[in-house]
Amino acid sequence: MNSPELFSGRLNQLRKRLADSGVDTAVITDDDSVYYYSGYYGYLHMDFGRPTLLVVSAEGETVLITPTMEQSLAESLAVVDRIELWNDGMGAEWREALPGLLGATAAIGIEPNLIPPPVRTFIDSIVEPKRYRDLTPIVSDMRMIKSPEELKIARHAGEVGIAMMEAGRSAIKEGVAEYEVALAATTAGTHKAAELLRTHYAGSQMSPSIHFMQILASGQEIT
């Protein structure tokens, strides 16, 4: 949806900020930040027990660690120097490349409040606490200033949300099951997203599908 130059520019800016802050290597695990810096958005996440990590060296290469099932998508989208693929149950999986990338003495930047617990637990086993740096201020400061393309995407996301709310509200009637309302909202959102992708984002591989959008998350009123 954005040009490779945009992502490479962000990575170069990140490398400079890392160097200025005394961070040798950044480990980015938040899906949104992985996309922000690399242009890559996978469909297998920690919800499925499959982490994707972006490792950025202040002085060296940028490496994307992602499931092999995402290989084609990663190779076509990711603006990185190298892609490390991993499979469920083979070797150390996503952990395989990390010791070599993080080294024994480098200062390691992470986002403490966003890193998935399984990833943090493993990194804790190979990185001494004194080597950690908080990456949050750097990433937050960069992402706070939106590009015109980001603003366009945000406005279009708002249009999808409005379409979903209107469809859900129209579906609410006495005796209508909750899942019917959720389906109406999901269908409307998917159709609107598909229309926007087709009209404004030619060549995008982003899926328009809206999912996991139940109205009620728990309780006796779920029907």
Q: Is 65 helix (H, G, I), strand (E, B) or coil?
A: strand
pLDDT the model gives residue 2: 64
Which of 124, 144, 164 lies at the terminal end of a domain, its last residue? 144
List of residues 6+ apart from 17 with CB closer than 8 A = 138, 142
117 in the same domain as 28: yes
For residue 199, the enclosing domain spans 146-223
pLDDT digits (tens, 9 = 90+) for 67-118: 999 999 999 999 999 999 999 999 999 999 999 999 999 999 999 999 999 9
Same domain, 85 and 123: yes
Same domain, 51 and 132: yes
Report which of 93, 99, 37, 98 is spatially closest to residue 68, judged by C-alpha positions: 93
pTM: 0.84
Closest by alpha carbon to 208, among 172, 159, 151?
A: 159
Q: Are residues 27 and 124 in the same domain?
A: yes
Residue that is last in its domain, among 90, 124, 144 = 144
| Same domain as 154, residue 133 | no
Q: Residue 207 is encoded by which pair of tokens?
A: 């899926």
Same domain, 93 and 179: no
Judged against a pLDDT cut of 80, whether residue 218 lies above it is answered with no
Q: How many domains does the chain have?
A: 2
**Residue 186 confidence (pLDDT):** 95
User: What kind and span of H or E run contains 207?
Assistant: none
Q: Are residues 137 and 181 in the same domain?
A: no
Closest of 148, 143, 106 to residue 123, by C-alpha: 106
52 sits in which H/E element: none
Query: Which residue, of 125, 144, 163, is where some domain finishes?
Result: 144
pLDDT per residue as tens digits for the range 30-48: 999 999 999 998 877 777 7
Q: What is the DSSP letter of 178?
A: H
